[in-house]
């Protein structure tokens, strides 16, 4: 086979170029295969639908995925009435946290929950993950505050959480799951990042309750969440309904087997 330079190049000068071109060809093939399989996976799991005003025109298990809240929504996330409206203190109290745990706040936004979690794991760590670089910039600013040195901001991906395998005790997504563009891939990736016995917590506005003053695509029913999470290696541990507007769902990855 002839690579760059063709037969007029001497054997010694042609060899590096030949290897380089071969490596390029292999890289291109791997990239094409990855793109193809991502596309194939997408085509199988997701369905294109006409986009509604708050949706992305992509359906998963009968639900249209909501648009991501832009970074300009950060002041709303930090609004002074939120503590009272959502009783985040009750949410944090409901979580099975130990002071030395590693927690992943996925879709951390401006860090409203991150700073409350960081106070509960003073000897542990909070990975504050978000896909928007502007949100990560806010998280970086937050992590410089006294008492928040256990916060590590992480720029995430739409389809994966870039955290080490089996490193996290508790992963929490507050008002995030409904806007994941690749929910199946994200749950796979979160499960991989959880330690055996680690927990996944989803907090979602109640889709069953028309009195919750949030747009329909940004709410979820328990039935829908259960449907979407079945088939993953997670056991449903509990549904907690103590909050005024949101469900708290806690799932657990199987503990390590005793030898
Ligand atoms: C409605 S905000 C909630 C923020 C925060 N959890 C809170 O309650 O204040 C949703 C956040 O999820 C982030 N997000 C969406 N998809 C994500 C993904 N695949 N990985 C990480 N973050 C994501 C968005 O950028 C946005 O900041």
Query: pLDDT per residue over 71-98, tens digit each?
Result: 999 999 999 999 999 999 999 999 999 9
| pLDDT of the residue at 43 | 55
Which helix or strand (DSSP H or E) is residue 42 part of?
A: helix 11-45
Contact 117, 126 (CB under 8 A): yes
Q: What is the pTM of this model?
A: 0.85
Report how far ligand 1's centroid is from the alpha carbon of 192 (Å).
Answer: 19
Report how far ligand 1's centroid is from the alpha carbon of 68 (Å).
Answer: 7
| pLDDT of the residue at 94 | 98
**Mutate which of 55, 107, 134, 245 for ligand 1 pocket (most atoms within 8 A of beta carbon):** 107
Q: Which residue has the higher pLDDT, 3 or 243?
A: 243
| pLDDT of the residue at 257 | 76
Domain ranges of the chain: 6-48, 68-253
Measured at the alpha carbon of residue 125, what is the angle toward residues 176 and 83, in degrees to the nearest 5?
50
Q: Say which CATH class 68-253 falls into.
A: alpha beta
> What is the total residue count of the chain?
259
How far apart CA 245 and CA 215 sit, in angstroms, is 13
Report how far ligand 1's centroid is from the alpha carbon of 63 (Å).
Answer: 18
pLDDT at 149 over 70: yes
pLDDT at 14 over 60: no
Please give all residues whose beta carbon lies within 6 A of any atom in ligand 1, as ranges: 68-69, 77, 106-109, 112-113, 129-132, 135, 156, 158, 174-176, 179-180, 186
Query: What are the tokens at 239?
Result: 């549904």
């Amino acid at each position: 086979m002839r690579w760059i330079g063709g037969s007029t190049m001497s054997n010694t000068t042609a060899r590096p170029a030949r290897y380089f071109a071969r490596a390029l060809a292999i890289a291109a093939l791997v990239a094409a295969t990855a793109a193809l399989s991502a596309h194939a996976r997408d085509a199988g799991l997701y369905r294109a639908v006409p986009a509604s005003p708050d949706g992305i025109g992509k359906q998963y298990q009968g639900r249209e995925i909501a648009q991501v809240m832009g970074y300009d929504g950060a002041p709303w996330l930090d609004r002074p009435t939120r503590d009272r409206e959502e009783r985040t203190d009750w949410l944090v109290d409901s979580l099975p946290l130990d002071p030395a745990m590693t927690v992943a706040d996925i879709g951390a936004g401006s860090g409203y929950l991150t700073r409350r979690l960081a106070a509960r794991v003073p000897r542990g760590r909070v990975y504050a993950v978000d896909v928007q670089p502007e949100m990560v910039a806010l998280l970086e600013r937050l992590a410089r505050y006294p008492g928040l040195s256990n916060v590590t901001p992480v720029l995430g991906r739409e389809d994966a959480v870039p955290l080490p395998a089996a490193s996290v005790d508790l992963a929490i997504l507050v008002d995030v799951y409904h806007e994941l563009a690749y929910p199946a891939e994200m749950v796979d990736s979160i499960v991989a990042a959880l330690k055996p016995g680690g927990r996944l917590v989803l907090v979602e506005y109640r889709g069953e309750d028309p009195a919750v003053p949030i747009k329909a695509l940004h709410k979820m029913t328990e039935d829908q969440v259960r449907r979407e999470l079945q088939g993953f290696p997670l056991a449903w541990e509990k549904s907690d309904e103590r909050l005024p507007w949101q469900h708290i769902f806690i799932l657990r990855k199987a503990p390590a087997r005793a030898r």
